[in-house]
Structure 1
């Protein structure tokens, strides 16, 4: 397969899965393995194109985010509260990511871990659809410090490929009494510093291998993930409000089961 076509496919996978609780990293690793893209530049590629999808959130929420940004110097209480909540939620996973970055990439980035995590995460979402506590918080920009930190601690689970960053934060939000829409929306906001940090770390560590050809492929994947991410962010909240998270749960279980079958057959590895 031509490298440019692989970049487009992986960009689509990233943009379509980053903001739904199915694990974009897990899907990217499985897709990469199916296409036989096992060399190092592609591992860096799948991390760096995630920034394209994250910029889709910035574009769609620019008005609200800009209001927060200009409100901080003037000590606007609402802006300060939102900024603190995002930073509190971001800190735990940032610390874990810095401490265990090499271990995550060398040990946990494998299809078996991904498939098992997809299935277990799907089961957890189904259980939450039935037994989630009554929501007490309904505005993603007005979380209490306790709720924000709790969501951030749940995000630490997403260091395991296949768990899903958005899935972990949404599950954490639901367990902490956040309604479905607000849990999904806060996951969008938290993705911004989290994925920018991951992008910066990988960019620095991989800077020597970022040749012209590799940067061209990253640019292709970046643009495709941005456009497809825009579509998902626009439709995600309404879909969750109407249908909940069960469809994503069953998708996770199906993909994980198919992945394990392919592993058993020796078609991926």
Structure 2
């Protein structure tokens, strides 16, 4: 086996991992960078590979939600008030990360090289998720949770049960939560989902909104990274990105509907404990 074949195999493995972790709150970036370090994947210094293949996962969501996206586009341009409000909310949620990300990208990329950052963000993020899920108001968003009189208790906290009911203030909270996720290991999906729940969006709806928000966010990140660093890539790296991109697309295609079914029946506690355990493993690995 040649070194280049091994390189493409490693790129394929990372592509699969990206697709399986992008839409669950465990931080795909942490998994890509840590696994890349463990298997000695020769990523470039600017981590362009890791950023660009993430858009493969987003493309899977675009494909799966293509009918809803077309409805959104058509409704927005035809003056449908409901669709226009949804588009407005996506723009509001997108802007904070777009502005802050452009101003801080150099400092954020520097954090990618410090594994201790991942330990901190994985563990703290897991603890925050446990805290949110343990609070009665959010625990009651579980479909099987009933109050004493037998009435489902989601209405006691959640104010938005569908994408169309999200307010601009809730969208803004999700947007600033996404800014926190720029720190490696935080998890973009985790931050936006938890931020949405804290803002009063039902867990499943917050997950769906996170998926839609990922589309413009990751497209912008991919285009920006390729614009700044594309010229420094060679042909071999280009093929590695292509392989990782395709595998990320197909693995995410498989996972997205499973995630939506899972969150409609369960809490995010299993992912929180996984984050904490992974953070502990990384800490032991660093000091072993």
Normalised-by-shorter TM-score class: over 0.9
Cα-Cα RMSD = 1.4
- Larger Rg belongs to: 2
Corresponding pairs, count = 265
| TM-superposition CA deviations, 1:211-268 (whole Å, max 9, x none) | 2211111110001000111111111011112121001101111111101110112xxx
1:149 to 172, 175, 199: 172
Match of 2:88 in 1: 84
Match of 1:188 in 2: 211
Match of 2:195 in 1: 172
1:38-57 equivalent positions in 2, closer than 5 A: 39-40=43-44, 43-57=47-61
| TM-superposition CA deviations, 1:20-63 (whole Å, max 9, x none) | 11111111111111112354168110100001000011001000
Match of 2:244 in 1: 221
Is 2:220 aligned against 1:197?
yes
CA contact (8 A) 1:137 1:179 kept: yes
Would the alpha carbon gap of residues 39 and 74 (structure 1) be closer, same or farther in structure 2, given more than 3 Å must change?
Answer: closer
Would the alpha carbon gap of residues 105 and 47 (structure 1) be closer, same or farther in structure 2, given more than 3 Å must change?
Answer: same
- What stretches of structure 2 of length at least 5 have no aligned partner? 139-156
Distance 1:40 1:56 in 2: 25
| TM-superposition CA deviations, 1:1-29 (whole Å, max 9, x none) | 71011101110111001001111111111
| TM-superposition CA deviations, 1:167-194 (whole Å, max 9, x none) | 1001101111111100111100000011
> Where has structure 1 moved over 3 Å in runs of 4 or more?
none
Is 2:98 aligned against 1:75?
no
Match of 1:96 in 2: 100
CA contact (8 A) 2:55 2:218 kept: yes
CA contact (8 A) 1:109 1:161 kept: no
SS in 1 for 2:161: coil
Distance 1:110 1:14 in 2: 20
Match of 2:142 in 1: none
Match of 1:19 in 2: 23
Which TM-score applies when normalising by structure 1? Answer: 0.95
- What stretches of structure 1 of length at least 5 have no aligned partner? none
